[in-house]
Amino acid sequence: MNELAFALVYAGARLDNGAMSVEELAPALGSLDDLVQEMSRSAFPTREPARLAVRGARDGSLAIDLVLQAPWDHIIDIFSSDGADAVNNLFGYLAGGAGILSLIRRLRRRRIAKVTQVDEPNQPVAMVELTLEDGEVLRIPAAVLDGYRKIKVRKSARTVVEPLEDPGIERVQIVREQEIAIEIARDDIAAFDPLPSVEEPVTDNVVDMVVAIASPSFTGGNKWRLSDGSTTFYASLDDESFKAAIDAGRESFRAGDMLRCRMEILQSRGGDGTLHTERRVLQVVEHIPREVQLQLVDDGDEGDEPSAVA
């Protein structure tokens, strides 16, 4: 077992007596443990994640002595020469100048516009350059970016700094060997707030298909209820000429009618990690009344005579 000791320190006028409620402190400690585990998985995905342990508290202070424990006694990989170096690297990914807490604070909820791999000779760890939406460029370990992309990491980091919302608590520090690795002040809380939910496109396909009309819609959001034979779904009707024909009374519908159409299927991932699918009818090629036989497959030349039956 390789270990690295450090302290989590909350400081402020309210804490002169070195006391803090368990209800207030427990979520922060639990989230810091979650943060360590997730960053461990990002840095060393094939290894059992590192964990936190509490060693004890010092009298008259608000410093909580913690131990980063990793079950890596004998490892040699691109990140480190041995287990102790790996734990040092992991601590850097957590609380170093280019670690996850520092990155969240520095980004201040700005979005990453571009990620570029950094290829340098004798580079000890994989690095990336981040180009932010305002043009600023940051260089960080690739493992830190991987951690930042995890919603759980950002939520855990936010819980660690949540005690700063109390006016009597002014800062939180991670201290190692009496050196402050990182200090986060009350003014930094906003940087840890969740990013606004923005849909991130995943796939965008346009397909030709035949759908059955389960329920048309002529008002509101213009969402038609359609079926492809196995799945029923809602889709917006965005064919303006077809909508004009409906408004003019040239098109009418009965249960069982079908549409041969061009359909756009857009999949996107929300800021909460959930997957969304949106469908749009771009063009109605043909409205097929229910009494018309639908030929989906070409069985042969139209001019062929039916074969004689003996």
- pLDDT tens for each residue of 172-228: 999 999 899 999 999 999 999 987 655 566 777 889 999 999 988 876 567 899 999
**Helix runs in 214-267, H state only:** 240-247
Identity (one letter) of the amino acid at 139?
R
**Angle made by CA atoms 30, 36, 42, in degrees to the nearest 5:** 140
Separation CA 161–CA 164 (nearest Å):
6
Which pLDDT score is estimated for 303? Answer: 46
Which pLDDT score is estimated for 284? Answer: 94
**Residue recorded with tokens 């932010």:** 132
Which pLDDT score is estimated for 292? Answer: 61
Which pLDDT score is estimated for 80? Answer: 44
Backbone angles phi, psi at 89, to 5 degrees: -60, -45
Q: CA distances (Å), 179 to each of 6, 144, 216, 254, in order?
A: 10, 22, 67, 76
Pull the structure tokens for residue 55.
Answer: 């060693």
Which pLDDT score is estimated for 56? Answer: 62
Beta strand extents in 93-186 (DSSP E only):
112-118, 127-132, 137-141, 171-176, 179-185
Show Cβ contacts of residue 309 under 8 Å, excluding neighbours closer than 6 positions: none
Backbone angles phi, psi at 216, to 5 degrees: -75, 165
Which pLDDT score is estimated for 293? Answer: 58
Which pLDDT score is estimated for 51? Answer: 93
137-141 β-sheet, strand order: 112-118, 127-132, 137-141
Identity (one letter) of the amino acid at 75?
I
Those residues of the chain that have pLDDT short of 70 are: 56-61, 72-83, 196-201, 219-221, 270-273, 292-310
Which pLDDT score is estimated for 77? Answer: 45
pTM: 0.63
Which pLDDT score is estimated for 270? Answer: 66
Which pLDDT score is estimated for 288? Answer: 92
